Structure 1
Amino acid sequence: MSELEVEKQTYYGNCHCGAFKYSVKLAPINKASRCNCSICTKKGYLFAVPEKPSDFKVEAGEGVLKTYSFGNGIAEHKFCPTCGSGILVEAAKYNILVININTLKHGSFDIDNLEISTTDRVNVDPIYEPFTLSPSDTPEIPEGQKLYTGSCHCQAIKYTLTYPEIKEVRTCNCSFCSRNADMWIYPPIASVDMLDTEKNLTNYLFHPKRAYHGFCSVCGVDVVNRVDLHPTFKAPVRPINVRTIDGLKLDGLDIDKADGWSMESGPYKAYDI
């Protein structure tokens, strides 16, 4: 091995529900990349690129993942249809495969000290256009609040939100939110109108079973946290993943970091190897 070569390590990962499990050989993870295109921003991907696609191995769940593509269809986004975890993006035509390292086992890398670069593709065709809100769906805006619109990527899930100017959001390092890089606000239920698109949500419930995480069954984007659906634990809020809000600049937001990992009652063991 030459001085410039770095010995690869084997990392293990999985979707949240554990239906899909994989291993991947990578150089020690001290840097990663983001993409600011429409789908990557909504999904919160954090990428590492294996030296070759064969360095990625399916350990369990071959054929389980669902595929979403758009535009020219070259890039295929693979996610679990049960829990919504976005695992990888593949462009088989160019022999390219990139891994969302948010889905690696907890502790696989130090995210707080990770060197992260951004690939600028926000203006690459096809340019993403938010949905057009009809006058009949436009709510009254209470004094001191703003009107926001948002959606999953394919726009099967759409909503309006009346809320004060968004300056601070909460992130969470729990086993679920960390996989999607979710960024939450907590508006009252009455402030959110799902515009009759709830039927397109897949609601995923997991331990401690307090919230149904609602993601799009078509594109896999995590949109809303349905804490109000639980039969015993109910809260009068409709948490929204702000990654799905149209035109919101994420970089300038203040971040409140919640330690959901330590709050989970019992260890997360979807992938013990």
Structure 2
Amino acid sequence: MSDTTPTSAPATAPAPELKTYHGNCHCGAVKYTVTLPEITSVTECDCSLCLKKGHKSLFPSGGLVFEEGKGEDKLKSYEFAGKTIAHKARTLNEIDDIFGLKVNTYKGTTLEPGYTPHAFTGPEPTATIENAKTYYGSCHCGAITMAFKTAGPLPEGSEKIQQCNCSICCRNGTILTYPHKTQISIHSPTTPPTPLSIYTFGRKFQQHTFCPICGVAISLQKNRPVDPELFKKEAPAGADQKQWEEKLPVNLRCFEGVEWDRVKVENRDWKNYGGKYEVP
């Protein structure tokens, strides 16, 4: 007869409570739900595409459930190096603080084949700046290339750089800088040239431009003319319309050689500026 006291099986941790999140593109053409534990962290990959698009990725085991008539058939695909792209956390509506999520990093730059940046062959920016530095970049596929002339390296603080949590910037993953339009040159090297795709909404002050092939956000171009009374009513307090019209905001993620470890990026809370975003 054994005098050994039987031991009970180790207790199993309770399954995490699941939550259903609702997601959509900005215009509402694609809508879906996904069910998973409460989102407290995302994965950021440093590969060429994830960096340019600002992906914050999740890997839900159950997949996405698309709303009837607003499903995968409405999505455009872009493939490179035989890879697929993970789901974007930025399209979910119930994440209150996108900047507050814990970030897990993935070194996508170590994967083969490596990415070769696309050369800029267009006209240089016309701005006259002493001790200037020019950054060159492109969308991911190279159909749109860009040059950006600054007053020295960006870490010296000559340019305003920010990201915000408004409905469109959060989905596009942009980090914007706001130079004078003469500091920027945007050029398509393709034959014939690839025109930028344009998306406008709300006040329609600006055109959100992006590459029609790879989908990378490029710039915010001004819609003109803008009625001065409407601008005064809708723009931030103290904004100067003439100065605003001379700016050409561009997505800094497009450029190669940005000193990301030393550049100061402001996080702006503009989620409800101009009224709460309503899903179309």
TM-score (norm 1): 0.81
**Secondary structure of 1:66's partner?**
coil
Aligned length: 243
Aligned position for 2:237: none
Following superposition, the deviation at residue 118 of structure 1 comes to 0.6
2:60 aligns to what? 50
Is the CA contact 2:78–2:213 (under 8 Å) kept in the aligned structure 1? Answer: yes
Where does 1:97-108 land on structure 2 (aligned, <5 Å)? 98-105=86-93, 107-108=94-95
CA gap of 1:255–1:74, structure 2 versus 1, over 3 A, is: closer
Q: 1:137: how far off?
A: 3.8
| Structure with more of its chain in strand, by fraction | 1
Q: Is the 8 A contact 2:206 2:221 kept in 1?
A: yes
Contact 1:30–1:109, Cα closer than 8 Å, also in 2: no
Alignment pair present for 1:243 and 2:260: no
AA of the residue aligned to 2:103: I
Q: Deviations over 1:24-45 (max 9, x none)?
A: 0111101111100000000101
CA-atom RMSD, angstroms?
2.2
1:110 corresponds to: 97
Match of 1:231 in 2: 225
Distance apart, 1:64 and its partner CA:
0.4
Whichever residue aligns with residue 183 of structure 2, its letter is: S
Aligned partner letter, 1:230 = R
Q: Larger Cα Rg: Structure 1 or Structure 2?
A: 2
Distance in 2 (CA, whole Å) between partners of 1:119 and 1:45 is: 12
Identical positions, percent: 32
Give the structure 1 partner of residue 173 of structure 2.
Answer: 181
Please report how far the alpha carbon of residue 196 of structure 1 lies from its aligned counterpart in structure 2 after TM superposition: 4.4
Of 148, 158, 161, the match for 1:161: 148
CA distance in 1, matches of 2:172, 2:260: 15
After TM superposition, the structure 1 = structure 2 runs for residues 258-273 of structure 1, keeping only pairs within 5 Å, are 258-264=268-274, 266-270=275-279
- The separation in 2 between residues aligned to 1:21 and 1:201, in whole angstroms, is 25
Structure 2: 5+ residue runs without aligned partners?
1-10, 232-243
Contact 1:213 1:222 in 2 (8 A): yes
Q: Normalized against structure 2, the TM-score is what? A: 0.80
Equivalent position of 1:213 in the other structure: 208
Alignment correspondent of 1:94 = none
Is the CA contact (8 Å cut-off) linking 1:173 and 1:259 kept in structure 2?
yes
Pair 1:10-2:20 in alignment? yes
